[in-house]
Amino acid sequence: MKPIKSYRNPAFMNSKEARALRILAEYLEPKSRLEAEGVEDTIAFFGSARFPPGSPWYEAARTLAFRLTQWSKGLDPATQRRFLVCTGGGPGIMEAANRGASEAHGRNVGLTIALPREESANTHVTRELSFHFHYFFMRKFWLAYTTKALIVFPGGFGTLDELFEVLTLVQTKRMTKHMPIVLFGTEYWREVINFDAMVRHGTIDPADVNLVHRTDSVNDAYDWLTHQLTEQALGKPGAML
């Protein structure tokens, strides 16, 4: 019997010895596909998977994604693939943002993750831009790498994890690109994260509070984000951490 090549051997490829290869695959395969599709810049939406269609947060995310996609499509034709909506690809806020972008006839990105209770990508993700990850840290890398702006709706542990990873990169200047961050839902975020208390206890600097823009208004979020992107990102394609 002819021996099996190592990379065609499921027992090896799924073993702990091949973990580095699997991690590398979750970097190289999305990279090659994003490059082939001309995706250089995205606007990421984070938030809970638990908000159903029709709920206030869901509809706000849907509307904001719709408007940002329309704005992006209205840019110079040479930049028509700029600022695609990107989410974790699941239900709730993620579905709402992908749906809003799709309803504006825009391409959008979904980055799903393998979980014990398997969730497939929501049906609004552009087929060619639907990705599925095993490793959370590789998924978070791609959620941040092409992102030029971040909108964070109320969410749980996963949302907080994603938000604080980006905040840490911005605060420590390991992320060199300008990163406008919107916290949508002022009452929720005031209760869940007490930035002022962190300043009082000396764990962050007073200026760190200004790393985020808080709002309850789709209009305000849209105006602030498009201004930030126009001033800081247009003319600067490509992703930089």
What is residue 81's predicted lDDT score, i.e. its pLDDT?
A: 59
In a domain, 133, yes or no: yes
Measured CA to CA, the distance from residue 43 to residue 71 in angstroms comes to 12
DSSP 207-239: GGGGGSEEES-HHHHHHHHHHHHHHHTTT--S-
Measured CA to CA, the distance from residue 124 to residue 103 in angstroms comes to 9
What is residue 49's predicted lDDT score, i.e. its pLDDT?
A: 94
pTM of the model: 0.92
Q: For residue 50, what are the domain limits?
A: 40-232
The string over 16-37, giving b where at least 16 C-beta atoms fall within 10 Å of a residue's C-beta and e elsewhere, is eebeeeeeeebeeebeeebeee
In a domain, 176, yes or no: yes
Measured CA to CA, the distance from residue 91 to residue 98 in angstroms comes to 10
In a domain, 7, yes or no: no
In a domain, 25, yes or no: no
What is residue 119's predicted lDDT score, i.e. its pLDDT?
A: 62
Number of domains, the chain: 1
What percent of the chain is predicted at pLDDT more than 90?
86
In a domain, 134, yes or no: yes
Tell me phi and psi for residue 175, to 5 degrees.
Answer: -100, 110
What is residue 238's predicted lDDT score, i.e. its pLDDT?
A: 58
pLDDT band at 85 (very low <50, low <70, confident <90, very high): very high
Range 147-170 average pLDDT? 97
Q: Compute how many other C-beta atoms are within 10 angstroms of the C-beta atom of residue 4.
A: 11
In a domain, 14, yes or no: no
> Has residue 33 got a pLDDT over 80?
yes
In a domain, 126, yes or no: yes
Per residue in 173-200, pLDDT tens?
999 999 999 999 999 999 999 999 999 9
CATH assignment at residue 157? 3.40.50.450
Measured CA to CA, the distance from residue 99 to residue 103 in angstroms comes to 6
Per residue in 2-23, pLDDT tens?
889 998 999 999 999 999 999 9
How much is the mean pLDDT over the chain?
93
In a domain, 186, yes or no: yes
